[in-house]
Structure 1
């Protein structure tokens, strides 16, 4: 995955209100925001792995554990690393917060203003 240093990459779900607010802050940081709606655009396990490495997080850390789909299909089962990546691929709507990558730094934006930490 090539990332241009002057572009801000914004991985989000267009269905989440926090994502829309965070996107507004993203546009104040960079002239060009490359938006990737993870629900509409198919991401690969390799792409998720690279993003997770930049974030320093595990796949499980990105997921909304309170979501009914998580509770019904994922909770209480044993998963290996590859399986967790495949969960991100198959259920991107479970990602709890948008992810921003800018100038080779990545952040999971738990609040809209978290994205400002990239500046």
Structure 2
């Protein structure tokens, strides 16, 4: 049986997941995408060292300007070129930063992203 408060249960798990890993920023804000240099990263982008995503690399993260390591949202991303889908954790992002990240994941015809924001008070 699935617990009744699944969304409320997810966010503390996400925070613990991030707290147990080292954040590696391999694409700093303002840097170009390695394969598509015309695409610029609007915020720091990287991964959690010692974790594994569906693509075999570390779990991807975006880091915003708020203090701390709280997960403020998640991007569910689908890529038709790579034929994959994955979650990207948004760490310490403001509402405005999350909208910028969402736009980043929807700027090409072959990728799409959906934003799941952490509810207030959770």
TM over 0.5: no
- Structure number with greater CO (CA < 8 Å, separation at least 6) is 1
Normalised by the size of structure 2, how large is the TM-score? Answer: 0.25
User: Larger strand proportion, structure 1 or 2?
Assistant: 2
User: Larger helix proportion, structure 1 or 2?
Assistant: 1
Normalised by the size of structure 1, how large is the TM-score? Answer: 0.25
